[in-house]
Amino acid sequence: MIGDQKVLFSGMQATGNLTLGNYLGALKNWVHIADEYLTFFSVVDLHSITIRQDPAELRKRARNLLTLYIAAGLDPEKNCIYYQSHVSGHAELAWILNCFTYMGELNRMTQFKDKAAKHADNINAGLFTYPVLMAADILLYQADVVPVGKDQMQHLEITRDIAQRFNAVYGDVFTIPEPYLGKTGAKIRSLQDPEKKMSKSDENPNASIYLMDDADTVIRKFKRAVTDSEAQIVYRDEQPGIQNLIDIYGACTGKAPEEVVREFDGKGYGEFKMAVGEAVVAQLRPLQERFAQLSKDKAYIDGIIKSNAEKASYYATKTLRKVQKKVGFPDRIR
Ligand code: TYM
């Protein structure tokens, strides 16, 4: 809470190409609930360098991601859309919270284990303490709610644990955040291996729908999507490929899984896949058009970057000063 306003914080990494999972699991929900909160949507570039990045490429992707937030329908006059690296409070609070986080807790993080396995040549300390930086992001703004996909739930839990531990020592410093999961789309799976989540870093481009994929590519990928030999459109765990297509169609059209099942009762997989592909194309087209338009307006985007970094810094500094005082750092002399 800030004053009497409820706060929402969320962020995304500018690493790799954004997928339909990022959109349906997160971005679309952000737009949906943003009006109810004082909001902060960050392009979390500090997190990105836990994996080696090409500097020019990272800068370009970060700007594209920030533009995409706006293209998805977040009004940057009302929502604070900014780069994490422009607000030094994130790193400063992360350091303090590192001293309130246990190695054992971090060792249990499944995303760390996955990423460490994938990047065995670069298991750096930043990768290990990544969830602490994420906790700092959220707690810095006293966020009440954090809309994310299912894969981030464990990070939300550790954020709550760190906040509660800190509060237990120093009093009510941090708001304890709640995760917000959308009804549909919280876990979009790979189109090639429905046991896995759809991921920006998947090596097989057919496994993911990228937000900038053109219509033909989207349809082709859905036609090739791995399903099963049951030949029935039912929503059950034993048919993860079909379940995923139902989730995607439902998230795009606003329909519950039961409704989707009824709509396609007795239809073949081929017809269903086409319908899902078309529903996705219809979602992505306006997003892509607005993105193309906005990208041309350099001065407008630059203005947003500047003013929103200032706004975010204002709120971040408030919490940071409070925390610094609590832990015993000397007062600043004015
Ligand atoms: P990132 O960049 O991997 O993903 C951004 C958001 O997309 C969601 N998501 C998915 N949802 C459904 N199905 C999928 N297949 C799928 N793949 C990704 C993620 O859950 C996420 O909500 N650590 C975070 C970024 C972050 C953050 C934060 C998030 C940094 N600080 C503070 C919230 C609050 C990450 O890497 O997300």
Residue 16 has pLDDT above 80, yes or no: no
Q: Which of 6, 150, 187, 200 is catalytic?
A: 200
Q: Compute, in angstroms, the gap from residue 160 CA to the centroid of ligand 1.
A: 17
% residues pLDDT > 90 (the chain): 93
Annotation marks residue 150 as catalytic: no
Q: What is the pLDDT of residue 42?
A: 98
Atom of ligand 1 at shortest range from CA of 130: 23
Annotation marks residue 197 as catalytic: yes
Atom of ligand 1 at shortest range from CA of 138: 32
Residue nearest to atom 1 of ligand 1 (CA): 12
Q: Compute, in angstroms, the gap from residue 300 CA to the centroid of ligand 1.
A: 27
Average pLDDT along the chain:
96
pTM exceeding 0.85: yes
DSSP annotation of 231? -
238/177 Cα distance (integer angstroms): 34
CB 127 within 8 A of CB 13: no
Residue nearest to atom 34 of ligand 1 (CA): 10
Residue among 46, 128, 60, 48 nearest 89 (CA): 46
Q: Which two tokens stand for residue 140?
A: 């810095």
Q: What is the pLDDT of residue 17?
A: 86
Residue nearest to atom 19 of ligand 1 (CA): 149
Span 32-66, pLDDT tens digits: 999 999 999 999 999 999 999 999 999 999 999 99
The mean pLDDT of 215-234, rounded to a whole number, is 97
Span 237-270, pLDDT tens digits: 999 999 999 999 999 999 999 999 999 999 999 9
Q: Compute, in angstroms, the gap from residue 171 CA to the centroid of ligand 1.
A: 30
Annotation marks residue 200 as catalytic: yes
Q: Which two tokens stand for residue 144?
A: 């009440």
58/42 Cα distance (integer angstroms): 15
Pocket of ligand 1 (CB under 6 A): 9-13, 21-22, 25-26, 44, 47, 134, 137-138, 146, 148-149, 151-152, 186-188, 197-198
Cα→Cα distances 256→20, 246, 271, Å: 18, 9, 19
Q: Compute, in angstroms, the gap from residue 319 CA to the centroid of ligand 1.
A: 24
225: left (phi over 0), alpha (psi -120 to 50) or beta: beta
Q: Using the structure block, give the residue that is written with the tokens 């086409």.
A: 274
Residue 182 has pLDDT above 90, yes or no: no
Span 107-126, pLDDT tens digits: 999 999 999 998 899 999 99
* DSSP string computed for 13-76: --SS--BHHHIIIIIHHHHHHGGGSEEEEEE-HHHHTTS---HHHHHHHHHHHHHHHHHTT--T
Q: Using the structure block, give the residue that is written with the tokens 């994490």.
A: 84
